[in-house]
Amino acid sequence: MPLMPSWIEAANAPDCPFPLNNLPCGVFSVAGGPRHCGVAIGDRILDVTAMEKAELISLADRPVLDKPEWNAVMALGPAAWERLRHLLIGFLRAKSDLQTTIEPYLHPLASAEMYMPFSVAEYTDFYASKQHATNVGTMFRGKDNALPPNWLHIPIGYNGRASSVVVSGTDVFRPWGQLKGPQDDAPRFAPCERFDFELEMGAVVGTPSRYGRPVTLAEADAMIFGYVLLNDWSARDIQAWEYQPLGPFQSKATATTISPWIVTRAALEPFRVDAPEREVPLLPYLQDSGPMHYNIELEVELTPQGGAPKVISRTNFRELYYSAAQQLAHHTSAGGPMRAGDLLGSGTVSGDTRESRGSLLELSWGGKEPLDLGSGVSRSFLQDNDRVTLRGLARGDGYTIGFGDCSGTLRPAIAPPWPAA
Ligand code: MN
């Protein structure tokens, strides 16, 4: 698909992340004003909350853009999403005769404050990169038991915390927790010493599913409203001690950072690609019925305090073994319902090469091979005041789809409210 030209000139530049083809959904405010739902276009934000109030947009028999979150729109389902996209393209396409009507609803992107684009109903994190699972398994359990026996059959996941999902730009505080090294007799309670990022994408569920009713893979795909970049911050030392037998708990509870923009499934349609070859046949309810992965280039940038930013990993969303649709179909397989605003982390996206590993744990091989950042600076794990920025882009025919930066700075641990031991 070629670039769809817009009367907003900045949207037509081949490297602009927000062309008319994209139209991602966010929540913003300008000049201390109220939070509204907005759609990015070029170097502006279109205030769709104000447009609904002015009856330029109508998606249901009641307002659905009146709250500063996209959940009500998401719950309407794919026909309403398509209608909104069609309306917006009509307003913003080149030579639209509605330009003077629409102009008052545009704000400069640069002056906007961004907030969580939706209210996270529940957050689940998966483990869908074979390379990541193999790398982590090798470090935690040894080479012979690296990939768990279930991994090629089941999209492994755990139920995470929705309450600590935060938008890009929110500080993250180094957590305290129980630490116990292999040589220690007993655990101690101390600030995490092996704090890490995980490069992931998040799938945002729009259409709810019913209690007691699993969904098919095709239904699951159609339920997904869009995708965000996602950093699943991880405390590796807390994780290593706590994770058996029920999986991560406090090691993943501190924070999960997402990009400010949800890129809709419709915008990503041209970037669908086939799944990798299956090493063993999947059970029928997980069998691929078409291309459900996406070609989205991903990178991680690390900026030490006062230092220069450095890109430390480059990989692609298509590296994953399981698609978000497969994860979602599996998620409903035991009958638990999904809600509008359920967030599914893809799992760390790691490729085959060292440069394409999606976490510091893998990049520094558990701290044994510190990563050189130049100027005499190296990292095994994150240090206080390091900033981690994830970026993602899909390259179309003369245009680029972006998500906005997914960025967070690690701040020093806050002392717990009890006396030191
Ligand atoms: Mn993760």
CA distance readout (Å), 336 to 25, 122, 205, 212, 240:
27, 12, 14, 6, 29
Q: Is the pLDDT of residue 212 over 80?
A: yes
Residues 223-256 have pLDDT tens digits of 999 999 999 999 999 999 999 899 999 999 999 9
Query: Distance from the CA of 359 to the center of ligand 1, in angstroms?
Result: 10
Average pLDDT along the chain? 97
Give 74: exposed, middle or buried? Use CB within 10 Å, 0-12, 13-18, 19+. buried
Query: Distance from the CA of 348 to the center of ligand 1, in angstroms?
Result: 5
| Structural domain spans, the chain | 9-115, 123-411
Query: Distance from the CA of 16 to the center of ligand 1, in angstroms?
Result: 29
Residue pair 114/26 in contact (Cβ under 8 Å)? The answer is yes
Backbone angles phi, psi at 5, to 5 degrees: -70, 145
Query: Which of 25, 35, 34, 66 is CA-nearest to residue 341?
Result: 25
Catalytic site positions: 132
pLDDT, residue 421, reads 62
Cis peptide before 78 (omega within 30 of 0): no
Residue 138, SS3 per DSSP: helix
Residue carrying structure tokens 């599996």: 330
Superfamily of domain 9-115 in the CATH hierarchy:
Fumarylacetoacetase, N-terminal domain (2.30.30.230)
Structure tokens at 210: 């019913």
Task: Report the DSSP beta bridge partners of residue 159.
Answer: 124
pLDDT, residue 237, reads 97
Structure tokens at 411: 């701040």
The lowest-confidence range among 27-31, 114-118, 372-376 is 372-376
pLDDT, residue 419, reads 77
Q: What percent of the chain has pLDDT over 70?
A: 100
CATH topology of domain 123-411: Fumarylacetoacetate hydrolase; domain 2 (3.90.850)
Residue 157, SS3 per DSSP: strand
Q: Do domains 9-115 and 123-411 have the same CATH topology?
A: no
Residues 135-172 have pLDDT tens digits of 999 998 899 989 999 999 999 999 999 999 999 999 99
Give pTM, 2 decimals: 0.97
Backbone angles phi, psi at 409, to 5 degrees: -110, 135
Query: Distance from the CA of 145 to the center of ligand 1, in angstroms?
Result: 20
Residues 42-64 have pLDDT tens digits of 999 999 999 999 999 999 999 99
Task: Report the DSSP beta bridge partners of residue 69.
Answer: none
